[in-house]
Amino acid sequence: MDLSVLRQSDVQVIRLRGRLTLGQPVDAFRQALESAFESGDNRILVNLAEVPMVDSSGIGVLVRCHTSAKQKGGSIKLVQPQNYTVKTLKMVGLIDIFEIYESEEDAVASFD
């Protein structure tokens, strides 16, 4: 999995490419989110447009970090999750906790 982090306005953008599954991919994603929190960022956008699959460990990281962001007055928003990811979130009853956007621009603008 490839991961890149950038800033748009006052929003931390994490772009992922590849499968977000147990092991190195999930560990790298968790570290990127924790680094954002440690640097004081709590407005985070996760671009999943190029992530064909997220397993339960990836969902777990998303949920835990979403909860942490909320406790710090922010949130984690998702951009273009693939059908498999949306189905998985629906199946486990978590789709409604995330705001989902079609573009990074719309997601960044929603923080204001």
Q: Residue 93, exposed/middle/buried by CB under 10 A (0-12, 13-18, 19+)?
A: exposed
CA atoms within 13 A on the CB side of 79: 20
Number of folded domains in the chain?
A: 1
Q: For 61-79, what is the mean pLDDT?
A: 95
Tokens of 74: 């922010």
Q: Which residue has the higher pLDDT, 112 or 58?
A: 58
pLDDT digits (tens, 9 = 90+) for 17-64: 999 999 999 999 999 999 999 999 999 999 999 999 999 999 999 999
Angle at 47 between CA 14 and CA 103, to 5 degrees: 125
Q: Name the DSSP letter for residue 93.
A: T
pTM score of the predicted model: 0.95
- The average confidence (pLDDT) of the chain is 95
Question: What is the per-residue pLDDT for 112?
Answer: 82
Host domain of residue 69: 2-110
Task: Give the CATH number for residue 35.
Answer: 3.30.750.24
Q: For 102-112, what is the mean pLDDT?
A: 95
Which candidate, 75, 65, 93, places its Cα nearest to that of 11? 75
